Structure 1
Amino acid sequence: MRYVRLFEELTINDVPLVGGKNASLGEMFRTLKPKGVNVPGGFATTAEAYWAVLEHNHLREPIFDLLAGLDVDDVVRLAEVGQTIRDWLTHADLPDELADEIAEAYRRMSGPDGATVDVAVRSSATAEDLPTASFAGQQETYLNIRGEASLLATCKRVFASLFTDRAIAYRVHQGFAHDKVALSIGVQRMVRSDLASSGVMFTLDTESGFRDAVLITAAWGLGENVVQGAVNPDEFLVFKPTLASGHRPIIKRQLGSKAMRMIYTHDSLAGRSTRNIEVPPDERHQFCISDDEVLELARQAVIIEQHYGRPMDIEWAKDGNTGELFIVQARPETVQTQADANLFKQYILNERGTVVAAGRSVGQKIAVGRARVILHARDMHELQPGEVLVTDITDPDWEPIMKRASAIVTNRGGRTCHAAIVARELGIPAVVGCGDATQTVPDGEAVTVSCAEGDTGFIYQGALPFRVEEQRLDEAATHTRTKVYLNVAQPEQAFEFSRLPADGVGLARLEFIIMRGIQAHPNALLHPDKVDEATRGKIAHLIRGHADGRDFFVKRLSEGVAQIAAAFYPRPVIVRFSDFKSNEYASLLGGSGFEPDEENPMIGLRGAARYHHPDYAEGFALECAAMRRVREEMGLTNVALLLPFVRTVDEAREVITLMEKNGLVRGKAGLALYIMCEIPANAILAEPFLELCDGFSIGSNDLTQLTLGVDRDSGLLTGFDERDPAVLELIRMAIKACKKQDKYIGICGQAPSDFPEITRFLVEQGIDSLSLNPDSLLKMRQVVREAEEG
């Protein structure tokens, strides 16, 4: 056929013939289907077909004359020109030969019984989806098209969509000449995801650019809601290296609200082939794909990435009739792949203010500007340069003015929605899925948009001061004998911090994950019958999407640790069991009824003493179950474990026995177990302590307090720190004892991050590693290098 090619006839080299989207579909259908990538069949019209339509209707000169000299920043004139051209093409006639070939190819798609099939009709511009620019969403897609007449009418609407306002503006901004870009139409067997779920996945982390993860988003129904940002989807992260070794490394899952489901209608002739319906609460509160399906999608994504040799942006859909998972689009990722991998840039707020809205952070940056609340696309011209765009959702129609914004804030959407993608392309921060930002952000007033504080992005009232710190990583990566580790508190920042020249993680605290990600006392999760009704309701809300409180705690804790372990894999990551004090545990949801009222919690029921205590043994069992899940189910055997605040050798022995009963056996599959050296007794009796473990990690803050008998939180006591000779002597004793037994010795306390002289002292004593805060790692690595050189 002259104007039509079947998918099995196409390769990725056919972009000039059928555009990037259709060339990619053909390439995958032809070469990757045998490898397990499931692509629905179909066909594409050629670029020649598009030019034939223009010639047949004498539209070439009128269209390009109208576009000549158009100022796309004049959104009113842009809308007028775009509408005129679209009207011309919508009412154009298809050449007979083209119409006949489309109809013939469509008939070939019919089933063995000759039944008419439903199809998706997609656009594919011949210059689109290059490694440096994505035309995703610029043209239209029509779903649930059935019958020859409906298909031919839809094809004209797709041709017309090459001249949507956003597509015209995008070509100008990207430097593409209008008369050099043609449109191919892709006709693809429809996947009945209206009866199931669909979404988007990237073969890297979209915020940090971390290459070893697959990010998957999912919502009920057709995928347009996810792409447009009309819903807040479920989100999953899968770790590629241990997925390849047969493990189940879902290292993060987040339940989205998924308030709407897009389904089919039967009014496709009128161009209204879909509509949204409300999702019942019980379906909103469950994940819309299973763990097995998450892992299968990730496997297909990795196959696609390996085939193309670059990170990919992929759309997927699940058929509700057959249960099959399909790949319906794949294109190159165009933002993180263009970033300078050797530049480490941090945006840091100097102070915080009143939070007026919060949602998912996109971009890891901070911006200040006057808020402009715009509820309808027809009013988008009101946005002035440098303002913060605040709206419900954005779609490609907004693109002509989005480059004016200093930041974008939306009520709805996830990390793969339209607003998020455009914000990344523009290099500005966005906070999506806020829920009610259009009501809570004050229109016309200065606000600060911060995406530099982890997964949650905040909109603060007023213009807050912030700074930007830059460092060339290739200038700081010189090897040192002394290992330089990081202290990592928040899992969501681990991917970014893993770019730093660190040898691993010397301290990952479980209490940070429990406080931020779990929020409830483990005993309250295990025994909701023992808390009041209001607390039970809050717990029920927390654990949505999980079987029960135990499942919630184990998965949340394991996934928080797994994010850190995956970020630095295969470098070692030392994870410390929880070291909350009783008053801190009591502040967790439901915690007050399970905790004692202690006069001095700092030296009360904390650390190892809790783990075998009848009031917390069940909670420690959950921590152990989570660590087993990280190492065994996810395959992250780079995780080592650390026991805090071990007062006596007998207590160490008792806790180690308890760990073994809970399946954590020192030495099994290379499991290393360390003890915090933070009590003078640990250094004084180092030899018997070390016989039970693989080494010490010095906690300099508590060691200083307990050696000098000071409360460092007291404003009345000053001048007491780790540089005191008594503290240094205990540290020296600990290092010497570890060296004598050939055991690991490191420090994870604050001192090396604060005091260069402490760093030099530790290096001189022969310590194996220093674990530093991210903001001090680069400068202290230089101190280490100088100390080693003498």
Structure 2
Amino acid sequence: MTEKKTKAISEEPEAGTELTRGYGASPGIATGPARVIKDIEDAGQIKDGDIIVTEMTAPDMVPAMQRSTGIITDNGGMTSHAAIVSRELGVPAIVGCGDATEALSDGQRVTLDGEKGTVVVGEPESESKEENIAESDPTNDSVEAPVGHIPTTATEVKVNVSIPEAAQRAADTSADGVGLLRLEHILLSTGKTPEKYVADHGEEAFIKEISEEIRKVADAFYPRPVRARTLDAPTDELAELEGGESEPIEHNPMLGYRGIRRSLQEPEMVKLELRAFKRLQDIGYDNIEVMFPLPNDADDVRRARELMDEVGIDRDTHEWGAMVETPASIRSIDEIIDEGVDFVALGTNDIVQFMLAVDRNNAMVADRFDDYHPTILEAMAEVIEACNEHDVDTTITGQSGSDPEMAKFLAEKGISSLSSNIDAVDDVRRVVARAEQELLLNAVRDTSDGPTLPD
């Protein structure tokens, strides 16, 4: 009896033994019991301090993600829902492990490193509790105090926001405003598709729901600008919601019925979103700016502009713009500018996906998702140059906007602003400041390289 027990104990993996690994999506180290969630409906069982282990997160899992101390997924890349939301919540996360839901046992104590992308056997609770509280506290709504002076830059550094609950945390950074407020997370958090919500509660309730959530962000940042993007949810995410049974079945939703292409097919629905923006603007929120996702060409932008006009948004007093995310929109940038946009936003998550034919949610090809591919850099530089020639602001809203090296490259190319993840704002600003100083120094040196006068 004793021998069998001794043998069983020796077979238990020791603390620190690696169990699985993936892509570090949100920095930080967290230790806690793994809770394997194979059905979204089970997310309500997540308690404070649990580590969520699931195939992929969804918008209606956000409350559970807020309670968790860490997140691990089988699928998804650095631009997946789990990656985006966990960074905003300040919760350590690893995505694209492939086998986490099989490799980890429910209740097993594990430690994840959201930077290295590793999951190991956790220390016993008595040994790791104090350390874990110090390293990962998802209930902390403020950003860690920046070290040293935060420089002023000519290139604005803004922040991406997906969930209004993270607005104050984002506003507490040195961000110059919100470069991207994703409307889809607000809408999908209702648990119903937009059509189902309107059918159940009416148009007025829909407009009120959107405007009240956006107002939380606008209040936190006022008078700094908030660029709110109309709905850009793929059909597979909508299909998970109440009313989602009517959603079309697509083999690759990221290339399908989403963004402005859906809005233009369902104009009455997008006009409800625009009416929510207008309601806020009419009561004094002059920092709300409208942005349309995924246009292919000037015709898409023109039709979207006409919808704004139909609901009465004053384009003379409120700025509006369009995302540039497809090869077609990059090639059509001059024509898009001619439609009167005030700004253009480079959505690098989709630019890379479409130009390199890499599904950004497919962990099998995540290593092919290359923001620094020469064609990507060249395309972004061309858009910035064209916009600068016509005094149209440019920004970047994708994941690469949080990369210091990319920030340096774009600042040198003359981009107007960068929109980063919450935890990257101050680092990006410092990099931009150094890049601007180098440009000034090089300009001075160039003007002093002429011939010297003889003695």
CA-based RMSD of the aligned residues comes to 2.8
CA distance in 2, matches of 1:655, 1:559: 23
User: Letter of the aligned partner of 2:433 in structure 1?
Assistant: R
Distance in 2 separating the partners of 1:551 and 1:351: 44
Q: Judge conservation of contact 2:297–2:335 (CA < 8 Å) in 1.
A: no
Contact 1:523 1:618 in 2 (8 A): no
Report the CA distance shift for 1:779/1:741 in structure 2 as closer, same or farther (over 3 A).
Answer: same
Query: 3-state SS of the aligned residue for 1:716?
Result: helix
Which residue in the other structure is 1:571 paired with? 224
What is the CA-CA distance between 1:357 and the residue it aligns to?
A: 6.4
1:737, distance to aligned residue in structure 2 (A): 0.5
In structure 1, C-alpha distance between the alignment counterparts of 2:276 and 2:404, rounded to whole Å: 37
* Matched position secondary structure for 1:777: helix
Q: Does 1:603 align with 2:249?
A: no
Aligned match of 2:346: 698
Distance apart, 1:507 and its partner CA:
0.6
Q: Residue 526 and residue 729 in structure 1: after superposition, are their counterparts in 2 closer, same or farther (change >3 A)? A: same
Q: Deviations over 1:241-274 (max 9, x none)?
A: xxxxxxxxxxxxxxxxxxxxxxxxxxxxxxxxxx
Distance in 2 separating the partners of 1:612 and 1:638: 25
Which residue of structure 2 lines up, in the alignment, with residue 39 of structure 1?
A: none
Residue-pair matches, total: 323
Counterpart of 2:335 (choices 688, 695, 703) is: 688
Match of 2:178 among 495, 500, 505: 505
Residue 243 of structure 2 is matched in structure 1 by 590
> What are the superposed Cα offsets for residues 190-239 of structure 1, whole Å, 9 maximum, x if unpaired?
xxxxxxxxxxxxxxxxxxxxxxxxxxxxxxxxxxxxxxxxxxxxxxxxxx
The equivalent residue for 1:643 is 292
**1:519 equivalent among 187, 191, 205:** 191
Against the structure 1 CA distance between its residues 708 and 367, is the aligned structure 2 distance closer, same or farther, given a 3 Å change threshold? closer
The letter of the residue matching 2:274 is: C
C-alpha deviation, 1:468, in angstroms: 4.7
Q: Does 1:741 align with 2:394?
A: no
The structure-2 alpha-carbon separation of the partners of 1:604 and 1:480, relative to structure 1 and needing over 3 Å to count, comes to: same
Within a 5 Å distance, the mapping from 1:446-457 to structure 2 comes to none
Q: Cα distance, 1:498 vs. partner?
A: 1.1
Residue number in structure 2 paired with 1:432 = none
What is the aligned partner in structure 2 of residue 672 from structure 1? 319
* Pairwise CA distance, 1:581: 1.2
Could you tell me how far apart the structure 2 residues matched to 1:349 and 1:472 are? 18
Cα separation, 2, equivalents of 1:568 and 1:659: 24
Match of residue 488 from structure 1: 161
- Structure-2 separation of matches of 1:689 and 1:347: 37
| Residue in 2 that maps onto 1:628 | 278
Q: Deviations over 1:493-515 (max 9, x none)?
A: 21232121111110100011112
C-alpha distance in 2 between matches for 1:710 and 1:588: 26
Residues 325 and 350 in structure 2, CA contact (< 8 A), matched pair in contact too = yes
Deviating 4+ runs (over 6 angstroms): 346-349, 355-359
Q: Tell me which protein shows more strand as a share of its residues.
A: 1
- What are the Cα deviations for residues 409-429 of structure 1, in whole angstroms up to 9, with x where unaligned? xxxxxxxxxxxxxxxxxxxxx
What is the rounded CA distance, in whole Å, between the counterparts of 1:630 and 1:726 in structure 2?
Answer: 40
Q: Which residue number corresponds to residue 350 of structure 1?
A: 30
Please state how far the C-alpha of 1:617 moved relative to its aligned partner.
Answer: 2.6
| Cα displacement (A) at 1:713 | 2.6
| Counterpart among 248, 251, 269 of residue 619 in structure 1 | 269
Q: Deviations over 1:523-576 (max 9, x none)?
A: 112334xxxxxxxxxxxxxxxxxxx33233211211111111111100111111
Instruction: Please name the residue that 1:73 is paired with.
Output: none
What whole-Å deviation, never above 9, does each CA across 1:594-619 have from its counterpart, x for those lacking one?
Answer: x2222222121111111121xx3332
Task: Pick closer, same or farther for the CA change 1:479–1:696 going to 2, 3 Å.
Answer: same
- 1:212-231 aligned at under 5 Å gives the runs none
AA aligned to 1:561 is I
Which residue identity is paired with 1:675?
Answer: A
Structure 2 Cα separation of the partners of residues 367 and 710 of structure 1 = 35
d(CA) in 2 for partners of 1:651 and 1:637?
25
AA aligned to 2:268 is E
What does the per-residue CA deviation read over 1:47-74, in whole Å, with 9 as the maximum and x for residues that have no partner? Answer: xxxxxxxxxxxxxxxxxxxxxxxxxxxx
Q: Which amino acid aligns with 2:185?
A: F
> Are 1:558 and 1:626, in contact at CA under 8 Å, matched by a contact in 2?
yes
For residue 696 of structure 1, what is the amino acid of its counterpart?
V
State the AA in 2 paired with 1:641: V
Change (3 A) 1:608 1:367: closer
Pick the aligned partner of 1:559 from 212, 222, 232.
212
Query: What letter corresponds to residue 350 of structure 1 in structure 2?
Result: A
Structure 1 residue 471, shift from structure 2 partner: 4.0
Q: Does 2:450 match 1:777?
A: no
The unaligned stretches of length 5 or more in structure 2 are 1-25, 36-42, 51-106, 110-124, 138-142, 439-455
Alignment-mate amino acid for residue 573 of structure 1: V
Give the C-alpha shift of residue 724 in structure 1. Answer: 0.3
Give SS of 1:350's match. strand
Aligned pairs for 1:82-161 within 5 A: none
Percent pairwise identity? 33
Deviation at 1:745, TM superposition (A): 0.5
Equivalent pair of 1:476/1:501 in contact (CA under 8 Å): no
CA contact (8 A) 2:187 2:194 kept: no
Contact kept? 2:320, 2:342, Cα under 8 Å: yes
Letter in 1 for 2:195: N
Q: Which residue number corresponds to residue 91 of structure 2? A: none
Larger RCO, structures 1/2 (Cα 8 Å, 6+ apart): 2
2:230–2:273: 8 Å Cα contact kept in structure 1? Answer: yes
| Equivalent pair of 2:163/2:186 in contact (CA under 8 Å) | yes
Q: Secondary structure of 2:312's match? A: coil
Structure 1 position 747, deviation (Å): 0.5
1:446/1:579 Cα in 2 relative to 1: closer, same or farther (>3 Å)? Answer: closer
Contiguous gaps of at least 5 residues in structure 1: 1-345, 360-365, 369-444, 448-461, 529-547
- In 1, distance between residues paired with 2:44 and 2:197? 31
Shift of 1:349: 6.9
Matched residue SS, 2:364: coil
Where 1:761 maps in the other structure, the secondary structure is helix
Flag the 1:351–1:559 CA change in 2: closer, same or farther, 3 A. farther
TM-score (ref. length: structure 2): 0.65
Aligned partners of 2:193 and 2:243 also within 8 Å? yes
Deviations 1:628-666 (A, max 9, x none): 122113x21101111000012112111211221122242
Counterpart residue type for residue 510 of structure 1: L
Instruction: Kindly provide the amino acid, as one letter, of the partner of residue 416 in structure 2.
Output: D
- Cα 1:587–1:475, aligned 2, differ >3 Å: closer, same or farther? same
By percentage of residues, which structure has more helix? 2
Is the 2:404–2:427 contact (alpha carbons within 8 Å) kept by the matching residues of 1? no
Amino acid at match of 2:315: R
Closer, same or farther: CA 568–726 of 1 in aligned 2, 3 Å: same
Report the AA paired with residue 714 of structure 1: N
For residues 19-74 of structure 1, what are the alpha-carbon distances to aligned partners after superposition, in whole Å with 9 as ceiling and x for unaligned?
xxxxxxxxxxxxxxxxxxxxxxxxxxxxxxxxxxxxxxxxxxxxxxxxxxxxxxxx
Give the equivalent residue in structure 1 for 2:311.
662
Q: 2: CA distance between counterparts of 1:564 and 1:608?
A: 23
Q: Structure 1 residues 581, 474: CA separation in 2 closer, same or farther (over 3 Å shift)? A: same
